[in-house]
A and B are shown apart, each in its own frame.
Chain A
């Protein structure tokens, strides 16, 4: 049988998935052990024990200075910023994206602008964001929105434009108004695409969240990482990175499950990643 037709069983599929993870862990352990053998206080590649105890300390022991449980405080604040930012970006994508995709005049007016705006790296206009939104939460949320909304608008508009023309003509023949077509036809057809674009936008959203928190902040996952980097506390940074990865993974899976439950028709053609 050709290799493209041979499918792994459930067990060997799980095993195959585990191999690269195990390989990374093993390589890390070897390198870490070598460095620690030479300098037991080495900070660059800490042992799993010291990372574990650092994680425990951040999560379950109150901070000496403020009495807060830092990991949960950072996680909560970061997720809050991420959530607000993504909510605004999604709302923008939905409203502007639908209009651009469905109404030719709006498309002519806004599509080139959005396309241009989406190419500006938001980090480069940070000082302007500061002046407009201040240095508080608003600027951090604005950075996330500026970094994700334009691309989401474009992909939503694209999703609207790929709705089969026949369906729209059918609705018009049945006497639907523009509003009825928007709410009963275009919106339901676009929503699974929107969820998909949220999933894709979460990647840059995390990057912008972390960089926003690095710039001016008192809490947050990105804040903590950039703070302890000042004394090379990799025993705190690495668990935080794993934690962020885990959070991002869970969010991604959650959106996929929602999409599958709410729009089973969208997932009819085979597997998706």
Chain B
């Protein structure tokens, strides 16, 4: 008997080691009542932390008789990877990363809540130089293949240059500020709050920022399409809770602002300064209008071409149109047979109509 139990234990152990990877992916389908979404530190995503801490998420989840856990992950890329691997039902990310990581990885993903777009939160800073044209021939330190890289490509394109005119040096965002203080580094592309810190150093000039390409770097709560289709209550609870906090933010609710400022390691004034370079969609109606705008397919085309050009869509991708992207009006960019990213205004519209 003892021996039998022992071998049973051993078998269980072996199975446990083999299975978690497989199990994670089965979490996607069917109706369920417990959901997990993840987010990482960024000015436009701080409300997610507040949603969890303030109990507003729980209130809305209770209303639909489900439970939603909002988890903060310290590494942005890792949070997206976790979502893509099936560990989470949703995750906050940019439109660009949604297209390259989950959608490019075959995980059908829906943009549930379009939260904001970067309106100066990402920028190019040169040391002891005044104009974007001076970037020619320089080493540019940035997180390669990130929105910073995209911003650089768009900036160079606008100035009649291409990436061949500079040397891109991949630099971790965690070390960006320290890197910039060394003499070798003369230009960086980064995002807030690092951007404002670097800009404040002597001799630094911001020569380009995302306010010159408004609406192209979009921050979205992305959720698994299948999970959402099987569990509309999940989408309703998340959307309802989000716009309650948006209301608080728009009204400059002191408690909410204070909590989010502290969580992002600054004070209320600093947090407000970051919000100023972020175009938040405080009302669902604004977000719906943005999502339905004819500009979005055009942006998607830019982004897809950038990703394809850099080989990020995967080697199996024969063209930028390899992954299909669906828009609210039913139009599709790219391969209609392989739609993996969907901009869907349904739930935001419900919030706008007060139907949640």
A window 99-130: CB within 8 A of B: 126-127, 130
Does chain B have a CB within 8 A of A73?
no
- Decide: B178 and A217 in contact? CB cutoff 8 A: no
Whether the Cβ atoms of B77 and A229 lie closer than 8 Å is yes
Q: Which residues of A contact B311 (CB under 8 A)?
A: 64-65
Q: Could you tell me if A216 and B106 are in contact, using CB atoms closer than 8 angstroms?
A: no
B18 at the interface (CB under 8 A from A): yes
Q: Is the CB of A216 within 8 A of B25?
A: no
Is the CB–CB distance between A216 and B104 below 8 Å? no
Is the C-beta of B215 less than 8 angstroms from some C-beta in chain A?
no
Chain B 74-106 residues near chain A, CB threshold 8 A:
77, 80-81, 84-85, 100-101, 104-106
Whether a CB of chain B sits under 8 angstroms from the CB of A268 is no
Total interface residues in chain B, CB < 8 Å: 43
Are A214's CB and B172's CB within 8 A?
yes
Contact of A34 with B22 in the complex, beta carbons under 8 Å: yes
**Contact residues of B between 112 and 156, Cβ < 8 Å to A:** 141, 143-146
Contacts of B312 in A (CB 8 A): 230-231
Return chain B residues, CB-CB under 8 Å to A53: 315
Chain A proximity of B103: nearest CB distance (Å): 9
Alpha-carbon gap, A43 to B317, bound state (A): 14
Contact pick for A31, options B18, B26, B170, B178, CB 8 Å: B18
A41 within 8 A of B: yes
Interface contact A31-B22, CB-CB below 8 Å: yes
Least CB separation from B29: chain A residue: A38
Distance between Cα atoms of A136 and B179 in the complex (Å)? 11
Q: Let me know if B315 and A54 touch, CB within 8 A.
A: yes
A13-45 with Cβ < 8 A to chain B: 27, 30-31, 34-35, 38-45
Task: State how many residues of chain A have any CB contact under 8 Å with chain B.
Answer: 38
- Any B CB within 8 A of the CB of A200: no
A-contacting residues, B1-55, CB 8 Å: 17-19, 21-22, 25-26, 28
Interface centre among A39, A41, A231 (most CB of B within 10 A): A231
Whether, in the assembled complex, B192 has its beta carbon less than 8 Å from a beta carbon of chain A, the answer is no
Q: Within the complex, which residue of A135, A214, A232, A233 is in contact with B179, where a contact is CB–CB below 8 Å?
A: A135
Asked if B182 CB lies within 8 Å of chain A CBs, one says yes
Cross-interface CB contact of A30 among B18, B175, B181, cutoff 8 Å: B18
A227 near B144 with CB under 8 A, answer yes
Q: Give residues 132-188 of A contacting B (CB, 8 Å).
A: 134-136
Give the secondary structure class of A's interface: helix
Q: Are B183 and A216 in contact (CB under 8 A)?
A: no
Contact indicator B25/A38 (Cβ below 8 Å) = yes
Check if A245 is an interface residue, CB within 8 A of chain B.
no
- What is the distance, in angstroms, from B152's C-beta to the closest C-beta of chain A? 14
Q: When the two chains form the complex, which single residue of B21, B170, B182 contacts A130, counting CB atoms closer than 8 Å?
A: B182
Cβ distance B56 to chain A, nearest Cβ, rounded Å: 32
Question: How far is A43 from B340 in the complex, measured between Cα atoms in Å?
Answer: 14
* B275 located at the interface, meaning its Cβ lies under 8 Å from any Cβ of chain A in the complex: no
Q: Does A131 contact B (CB under 8 A)?
A: yes
Asked, given contacts A41-B105, A232-B81, whether A227 binds B175 with beta carbons under 8 Å apart, the answer is: no
Within 8 A of A (CB), among B160-190: 167-172, 175, 178-179, 181-185
Instruction: Establish whether residues B178 and A38, one from each chain, have CB atoms under 8 Å apart when the complex forms.
Output: no
Q: Are A216 and B141 in contact (CB-based, < 8 A)? A: yes
- What residues of chain B lie closer than 8 Å to A136, measured between beta carbons? 184
- Hey, which chain A residues are within 8 Å of B145, CB to CB? 227, 230-231
In the complex, A136 Cα to B171 Cα: how many Å? 11
Is the Cβ of B171 less than 8 Å from the Cβ of A216?
A: yes
Q: Which of B107, B170, B315 is close to A227, meaning CB atoms less than 8 Å apart?
A: B170
0 or 1 for each of B50-80: is its CB under 8 Å from A? (1 = yes): 0000000000000000000000000001001
- Give bound CA distance, A65 to B77, whole Å: 24
Supply 8 further A-B pairs (C-beta < 8 A) apart from A134-B183, A218-B169, A231-B105.
A41-B105, A45-B21, A64-B311, A215-B172, A216-B141, A216-B169, A230-B146, A232-B85
B interface residues, Cβ below 8 angstroms from A: 17-19, 21-22, 25-26, 28, 77, 80-81, 84-85, 100-101, 104-107, 141, 143-146, 167-172, 175, 178-179, 181-185, 310-312, 314-315
Q: Which 3 A-B pairs have the closest CB atoms?
A: A41-B106, A127-B178, A34-B22
